[in-house]
Amino acid sequence: MKLIKISELFEITYGNQFDINKMEILDDSEINFISRSSQNMGIVAKVERFNDKEPFQEGLITVTLGGTYLLSAFIQQKPFYTAQNIKVLRPKKIMSELEKLYYCFCIKSNRFKYTSHGREANSTFNDILVPAEMPDSWRNLDTKELNTLKKSPVSQNNFILDTDKWEWFNLPDLFNISASRDKLSDDLTEGGNTPYVTSSETHNGVTSFFEEDPTNKAGTITANRGGSVGYFFYQPVDYLATPVDVRILTPKFDIDVFLGLFIKTVLQLEKYRYNYSRKMGSDRLREFKIKLPSNGHIPDWDFMRNYIKSLPYSANL
């Protein structure tokens, strides 16, 4: 896969660098104000036209260069102004919405290279490497489907979490616990489609993508031994993982995304027991106990699965 600088695909400029405190908030305005937030596509208010300054047009991409979630990238659906530390990307050629979404995804995948109030992305953003073309695996995605929230297929009224009736299970009875044998990220080739899981607390632990083939199977749960200690993630696709601060839980039962999300959530409730100096290594994981719904001293997989299905919009999983 050929990689090129993001600046070869987009005209990149700084946003307006306006101060929202000097703007007039107007709820029925067609102009959005974009901040460095990672929520709500960065939109924090609707504002009146400012000093006859023409807003940016809809369909452009905004990228945050500072704040808590650097490189949050969004396609703006209405005309907009921006706060400070935001870049605006205009495609140099005609791009579909799906192509723009793909490059938003690529931009966000470079977040691990930067830190807020440390190594921010202002000076090096234009040189970030991205694929020259969107891969075929993305071309069949339906953007309307991606933007549609489906309601849950199971009524939540039938499910009550009564943890007093749950039972404790030894984690090694449910999972094989191992460390990754993959290479460190510096020894891999950037730009592919294989996710690389580290001990980050966001994006399922995925901080980059590489060309090498995945070695760890989908349907496993990753545990952060170090870094953001105590976070667990269900991995829905095959992946690579750092051998340093991630442990892999391979289930001894049939798992799916619903069970994976239920169990990873329960496991993560124990996060408070661990920190940078008290890491959650393989030995401690083998001593781990997890409290789960049970049926005859056996984990009640059906209850757990159906409970997640009963949650609002679980059909989007």
Residue-wise pLDDT for 107-144, tens only, equals: 988 876 666 555 667 778 998 888 888 888 777 766 55
Q: Are residues 13 and 94 in the same domain?
A: yes
Q: Are residues 132 and 164 in the same domain?
A: no
Contacts of 213 (CB under 8 A, 6+ apart): 194
Got the DSSP string for 77-104?
Answer: SS-EEE-SSEEEEEESS---HHHHHHHH
Domain membership flag for residue 133: yes
Domain membership flag for residue 56: yes
User: Which residue did the predictor score with more confidence, 158 or 273?
Assistant: 273
For 32, the domain range is 3-139
Q: Are residues 8 and 79 in the same domain?
A: yes
- Closest to 288 measured CA to CA, from 304, 268, 303: 268
Q: What per-residue confidence (pLDDT) applies to 136?
A: 80
Domain membership flag for residue 147: no
Q: Are residues 117 and 218 in the same domain?
A: no
Domain membership flag for residue 134: yes
Domain membership flag for residue 255: yes
Q: Are residues 88 and 180 in the same domain?
A: no
pLDDT in tens, 72-99: 899 999 999 999 989 999 999 999 999 9
Q: Are residues 105 and 187 in the same domain?
A: no
Q: Where are the alpha helices (DSSP H) in the chain?
A: 97-108, 143-146, 171-174, 257-268, 282-286, 301-310
Q: Are residues 218 and 301 in the same domain?
A: yes
Length of the chain: 317
pLDDT more than 70, % of the chain: 87
Q: Are residues 165 and 219 in the same domain?
A: yes
Q: Are residues 178 and 258 in the same domain?
A: yes
Domain membership flag for residue 233: yes
- Closest to 48 measured CA to CA, from 32, 65, 64: 32
Count of structural domains within the chain: 2
Residue 179: which pLDDT band, with cuts at 50, 70 and 90?
very high
Q: Are residues 100 and 197 in the same domain?
A: no
Q: Are residues 187 and 287 in the same domain?
A: yes
- Closest to 248 measured CA to CA, from 192, 197, 317: 197
The reported pTM is: 0.57
Domain membership flag for residue 145: no
Q: Looking at residue 162, which CATH number applies to its domain?
A: 3.90.220.20
Q: Are residues 239 and 133 in the same domain?
A: no
